A and B are shown apart, each in its own frame.
Chain A
Amino acid sequence: RKEVEQDPGPFNVPEGATVAFNCTYSNSASQSFFWYRQDCRKEPKLLMSVYSSGNEDGRFTAQLNRASQYISLLIRDSKLSDSATYLCVVSGGGNKLTFGTGTQLKVEL
């Protein structure tokens, strides 16, 4: 099983839609969870840290299910500028971040 697994997509959605991405991780000892976004050929940018069972920041909601080793990201009212690749990232408590391959989102008019 891959350390961090994501559906690569692409998810093509109309502007204003709600879209959800899922991610599973294999290491049950993982302690920290993040969502980063990456635009084409750019650096990963931190979108959200996922604390306890989840958190919300504006249009973005992240949820964590430790029992199922599953993290999700929900984007409401999608905008054209949300088009990017969304990276699920897990840390085991040390310094190393383990990245998923990312889920590509395309928001269309």
Chain B
Amino acid sequence: EPEVTQTPSHQVTQMGQEVILRCVPISNHLYFYWYRQILGQKVEFLVSFYNNEISEKSEIFDDQFSVERPDGSNFTLKIRSTKLEDSAMYFCASSTRQGQFSEQYFGPGTRLTVT
């Protein structure tokens, strides 16, 4: 069964450093997403991406964040200058379509720890 994959599984970085989280969505999916989950809290939407453009983003997704599809398989989330409060689990997801009944499938996540 096809799966979303993410690397690394755990990333430790110092405050102020840049990090890039990587995802390989399911191969025939066209819509890609990033979510985050701070420990003990709910999963929160960050951004959705389609046809090489951001289609929707949340208030959390400020100028420190960017997304890119650098090639035909990878989808990345970059945090330019990490803050302590960026420590969270970051999940990538993908879907075949958008809108009603769009089912999103999640990767195993990258645990980001900012020290």
Contacts and interface: CB of A to CB of B under 8 A. Distances in A.
Interface of B: 31, 33, 35, 41-45, 48, 50, 55-56, 58, 89, 91, 95, 98-109, 111
A95 B101 contact: no
Give the top 7 A-B pairs by smallest Cβ distance, nearest first.
A95-B48, A43-B106, A99-B43, A96-B45, A101-B42, A31-B100, A99-B42
Contact of B56 (A45, A49, A96, A101): A96
A94 B98 contact: yes
B89 to A, nearest CB: 7
A98 B45 contact: yes
Nearest to A100: B42
Given A94-B56, A98-B45, A46 B104 contact: yes
Majority secondary structure, B binding face:
strand
A97 interface: yes
Contacts, number: 64
Interface of A: 31-32, 34, 41-46, 49, 51, 87, 91, 93-102
22 contacts: A31-B100, A32-B101, A32-B102, A34-B103, A42-B108, A42-B109, A43-B91, A44-B91, A45-B106, A49-B103, A51-B101, A94-B98, A94-B99, A95-B48, A95-B56, A95-B98, A95-B99, A96-B56, A96-B58, A97-B33, A99-B42, A100-B42
